[in-house]
Amino acid sequence: MRQLLTPDEGKLVRTTLPGLLKIKTDKEITKVSNENKRVINIDTRRLEGVTSLREIRDQYVDQKKYWKRNILSGVLFGFGLAAFVDETVFHQLLRWHHFYDLSTTDIGLISDGLFHAFSWFATIGGLFLLADIRRRESYSGKRWWGGMLVGAGSFQLYDGIIQHKLMRIHQIRYVDNLIVYDIVWNVLAVMMIIAGAILLKFAKKY
C-alpha cells in the first residue's frame, strides 16, 4: 500500500518512520510504503515554515529525541506524587506509621520530613522536565501518563516489598491482620505499573 504525501496541503500525513528517514527529496515521496511497518502521523499544519518533506523528517527526528524525556518526566512526577500521598495520608492524617519506626518518635518525625522533601524534589523535577518538553512542543500524553503510572506504581511496590518486608523500617499499619493491608497495597502498585506499561506500549504505535 502506497500513499502520495503532499505536505504543502496542510493535511495529516501518514507514513512510516523507516520510509520517512529514507526520503531525500520530494520526488521520492511516492516510494514510501506503509505495508507491515509502523505508521506515524504528522500534522503538517503545525510545522511552520516547512517547504519540503525532508524538513518534516528532520523535525520529526528531532522531536523523537524527547519521547524518552516524556517518560522520565512522568516517572519522576509519579514517584514523587506517590511518596507525597503516602507521607500526607498515612504519616500525617491517619498516623499509621512514620518513615522510620525503629527508633524514637522524634527520629520518626525527622525521617518523615526528609521523606517529604524527597517527594517534592522528585515531583518538581518531573514538572521542570514537563515544562521544557511543552516549550519544545514535544509533549506526548500517552508517554507522560504512562511514565507517571509506572513511577507511582514502582514507588508503591518498592515501599511495600523493600521497606515493609525486607528492611522492615515501618509497616503500613500495626494491626493483627497486616497481611490484608500488604496485599491491597502491593496489588494496587502492580495495577498502576501494568496500566502505565499498556499506555507506553500503545504510545509506540504513534
Give the Cα-Cα-Cα angle 51, 56, 60 (nearest 5 degrees). 160
User: What is the spatial distance between Cα 133 and Cα 126, in angstroms, rounded to a whole number?
Assistant: 11
Q: Of 177, 19, 144, 175, which Cα lies nearest the Cα of 71?
A: 144
Which of 49, 64, 79 is at the close of a domain? 64
Model confidence, pTM: 0.72
Looking at the structure of the chain, the number of domains it has is 2
Distance of CA 178 to the CA centre of its chain: 31
Mean pLDDT by 10 residues, the chain (206 residues): 39 47 43 39 47 56 76 97 96 95 94 95 97 89 96 98 96 95 98 97 74
Domain that holds residue 21: 7-64
Same domain, 74 and 174: yes
Residue 84 bridge partners (DSSP): none
Please check whether residue 16 is in contact with residue 33, taking contact to mean a CB–CB distance below 8 angstroms. Answer: yes
> What's the confidence (pLDDT) of residue 59?
58
Q: What tens digit of pLDDT does each residue of 120-162 get?
A: 999 999 999 999 999 988 899 999 999 999 999 999 999 999 9
- Determine, yes or no, domain membership for 28: yes
Same domain, 18 and 73: no
Give the Cα-Cα-Cα angle 154, 195, 119 (nearest 5 degrees). 35
> What's the confidence (pLDDT) of residue 62?
60
Mapped onto helix, strand or coil, the DSSP state of residue 176 is coil
Please check whether residue 3 is in contact with residue 15, taking contact to mean a CB–CB distance below 8 angstroms. Answer: yes
Distance of CA 146 to the CA centre of its chain: 4
> What's the confidence (pLDDT) of residue 168?
95
> What's the confidence (pLDDT) of residue 28?
41
> What's the confidence (pLDDT) of residue 197?
97
Same domain, 147 and 166: yes
Q: What is the phi/psi pair of residue 90, to 5°?
A: -85, -25
> What's the confidence (pLDDT) of residue 171?
96
Same domain, 50 and 88: no
Same domain, 157 and 114: yes
